[in-house]
Structure 1
Amino acid sequence: MPTAQRYGRTLTHRVARAFTPELRLATWLFLATAIVRFGLLLAMNPSHAVDYLAKWDGEQYVAIARFGYFSADGSGAADPEIYQQRLAFFPAYPLAIRLVFAALHWIPLLPISYAGVGVLISCIAGVAATMAMLRLSGQQPNAALLLLGAPMAITLTMVYTESLFLACALWALVYLIQRRLLPAALLVALAGLVRLTAVDLWLVLAASVAVYHRRSLKAWVLCALAAVPAVGYLLWASWHTREVGGYFGMQEQGWDSGFDFGRATLTWLGTWHSNPGYIISSAIILAALLTLPVATWWARAGFLDWHLWLFGLAISANVLLSNGIMHSRPRLLLPAVVLLLPLARRLPTWVMVLWCLLGAMISAYMVGIFQWAI
């Protein structure tokens, strides 16, 4: 057999082996639920459905990918009105958009845009996150549907960081449960360049080191190094935004975001709302509050791994004990669905299908009809 033909068969075999049953199932579930969500969005707002995939935060990520952090069009002097907003967004996702666009835009007849690349990256990361949910549950499809059907799972196909963060976080949790510290630490470090909630993931890493590797200097060094990317970016961004109080001052100025021990959340829940989007946000906040004690019981009973419990608890506390845009809470609480894994394992598939349909309707409404940014 000629060398080229033999090489071609070997390559084909390797590609076929890469598409494992787990990957095929994750891809199928991700695409099926994404099509349902986008179909509902298209039905609710046919004229802007595609545009909304790169709306709000997506506009910031696309602008950073194209022009950087410091000026409106990438030229001229640094403009405080620009960088005091853009620096709130961590660099890994826009950098990935920029690199992939640079690699693909040379291909003839390939219609490509920065927003389209962002959606592509989100979808690939979303499949990876779905695979991690399958791995965390022992290959149970209900676990994947738990994530893919959650309210605001539509952000997994938008120019948002939800997919990339969840891919890093869920696979890091897989490796922590397997006590594979090096890949877990690498993913925690990467998550630290994706979004600020990586601090919650780092907390789980540190707790795992304290429980299983406390006498290992190498483990503690890995734990410390995993925090470097996030801390480094925060220090860099804070230096450039020192006039407004650094990174956290910028967050408070732009999004009224700051730790207040839950006072703003309680005030929101105690206020009557007639807007359906506000009602949805309040319902999801209440559901998160009710889930925490139940998930704690599940963890104590051995139904929920303590790494997942601590991660979900930390994410929930980070969101619920802070001020900020309340109608963004359903999106920000998305990673906390890991707390519901014991329930998803026991529910019949038809219930999970209904969960996906309800979540898709909420997603489509919040993106296509609700008048404020998500």
Structure 2
Amino acid sequence: MKITAIETLRTQEFANVIWVRVHTDAGFIGLGETFYGAGAVEAHIHDTLAGRLLGRNPLHIEALHREMLNLPMAQSSTGAEYRSASAVDIALWDVFGKVCNQPVHQMLGGLCRPKQRVYNTCAGYGYVRSNNIKPVSNWNRSDIGGPYEDLTGFMTRADAVAESLLESGITAMKIWPFDPAAIENDGMSITPTQLKAAIEPFEKIRKAVGDKMEIMVEFHSLWNLPMAKKIARWLEPYNPTWYEDPIRMNSPQALAEYARSTDVWVCASETLGSRFPYKEMLDRDAMHVVMADLCWTGGLTEGRKIAAMAETYHRPFAPHDCIGPVGFIAGIHASFSQPNTLIQESVRAFYTGWYNELVTTMPVIKDGYVLPMEGPGLGTELLPAVFERSDLIVRRSAA
């Protein structure tokens, strides 16, 4: 079997999402995805990777993974080179599953559990439906779009959001109310008024539902170390489950200092590329929960190595999702196949909303758990309507 063509698809509406389709001479087509800088990813795939992949056997996944990352500029990052390789790698696993007529989670070793617990990241319908995804005070907040506008919700009525999630069986939620202050003050300080506003969602949640809801706190790497340590202490009375990316993930020593300053778990981080920076963090006891985004950090091939390494350090694995539907589904396959998966990230505004505009099949999420995907490969395809969109940009490299 040989790779005969590599195709990329992106749209103007979802400007940062890009899909990759790997075509083979046996008729199998693998689907992959990554997010952010879609134009740069597209260029790298066609201008650099296609020449290395066309004519090769798509089932030689490890060899192709190494080939894609055996470049001077592809060194343990989440840059365009790694994102490109991640998307192609996910597509190769999709081909592998289709060839064997098995789900990807089976190809990765099979199910470790019959259902996987999820938490809800409280993003909204407009969170990535824009080219502007830099951290801003409102992250495209809106009351328009559907019943699960959880971004506006957690900032203004966190108690109601928590109650709504519990009604559906979801018992963990992730919020980031400190972002507005971090943006305004460059992550160096917080005023009493800003602190009160940032603490308010935690107070509302605990008052409304007590300890029935776990709260994960996302900081988006926006704070310097002294302020991050202060905020950690202020939040400890509210019993958060983890602190995610409190500082930039470029100093194992600094993150280790932060981890020692609090009893709350430190979660890090989808911003790390490849298993090597994870090892540096683990060696320093800087992280408790190992999070990886398969669309950024090397695909399923690298993701399972990161999960396995986390297990050797007795750390849980928690796949990231706040991107697109194919990456979400790939993360779910990884979650089920890894024995140390703690919980799977999900966004109900996405999986009940715009994800359904793009792919044929979505995972079943019920009573706070996601069920395994069925069908060969990833178990989903791009909808025919995607190929008919007027804003679709397609590029193809063929042997």
TM-score, normalised via structure 1 length: 0.27
* Structure richer in strand, relative to its length: 2
* Structure richer in helix, relative to its length: 1
